[in-house]
Amino acid sequence: MEPTTLYSTLVLSGFVLIGIEIFLPGGLLGIIGALVWLIAAAVGYFQFNAPWNTLSAIGLLFLLILTFILWMRFFPKSRMGRGLTLSDKLNHSQSHPEPNINIGATGESLTNLRPAGIALIEGKRIDVMADADWIEAGKSVHVVAIQNATITVREDAPCEIS
């Protein structure tokens, strides 16, 4: 195959593969298209006479970099890009719902709190953290702090009857 025909075919194939990548995202066709452009740059550099060989190689490398920059800048904002990427704002998403428990509420540890475990507070099974020491299962506890979704409990002091 004549070098000019091979060069033109590789450049056009690179365009087609990168263009298909817009409609069939996944990265593979875009990477193959970029590699085809790099091969075309090498073919142009070694087959054309000076100064066209250098201009051909530099032009294709510049086109590859420009395509990548434009892709990264505009694709995520396109209709198809928005459908494939995560939104920056997760307004209605919560990893753990806010507890409806007040400080001072009492309950019982269902598991050993070493320091985390489960307690039954006001009839609800809740993940809790022990404030200081480990608390054995079945002990009476009360809520001493609530920070975000972390409920901190402390063991109730045993009542001494004399």
Q: Render each residue's pLDDT in the chain as its tens digit; 162 residues.
A: 788 899 889 999 988 998 888 777 777 888 898 899 889 988 888 888 888 888 888 888 898 899 889 878 887 787 777 777 766 666 665 556 666 888 999 999 999 999 999 999 988 898 999 988 889 999 999 999 988 778 999 998 776 665
3-state secondary structure 51-105: CHHHHHHHHHHHHHHHHHHHHHHHHHHCHHHHHHCCCCCCCCCCCCCCCCCCCCC
